[in-house]
Amino acid sequence: MNRTQIQLPDQLYQRAKQWAEVNECSLAELTRRGLESYLDRYPAPQAGTQTWQIPVVNLGQPKIALEDLREHLAGIESRAMDA
C-alpha cells in the first residue's frame, strides 16, 4: 500500500472526520472508499478511443414551415389580444 499526502479545505476535512467518526472508520478508509467509488462511476477513457465530441440531437422536422411561422405567430397574438 502506498502512503500519500493530500490537502483538503478545512470545512471538507471537518466533514470527512465527522463522517468517519460517526461511521466508525478511519479518514484513510473513507478516502479510499471515496476514490474507489468516484473512479468506478467515472472511469478514465480507454487509450486509443475517439476524442469527445458534442452530442448531436435530432429533434425532427419543424411542425410548421418556417415560411409560415410569422403568419402563425401573428394569428396567435391576434387571438390573445381579442380574449
- More confident position, 23 or 83: 23
Domain boundaries, the chain: 8-44
- Grid coordinates given for 12: 471538507
Q: How many CB atoms lie within 10 A of CB 19?
A: 13
Residue 33: closest CA among 23, 46, 44: 23
Range 68-71 contact pairs with CB under 8 angstroms and sequence separation of 24 or more: none
Q: How confident is the model at residue 46 (pLDDT cuts 50, 70, 90)?
A: confident
pLDDT value at residue 48: 66
Q: What is residue 81's predicted lDDT score, i.e. its pLDDT?
A: 82
pTM above 0.75, yes or no: no
User: Is the pLDDT score of 74 beyond 90?
Assistant: no
The pLDDT, as a whole number, for residue 28 is 95
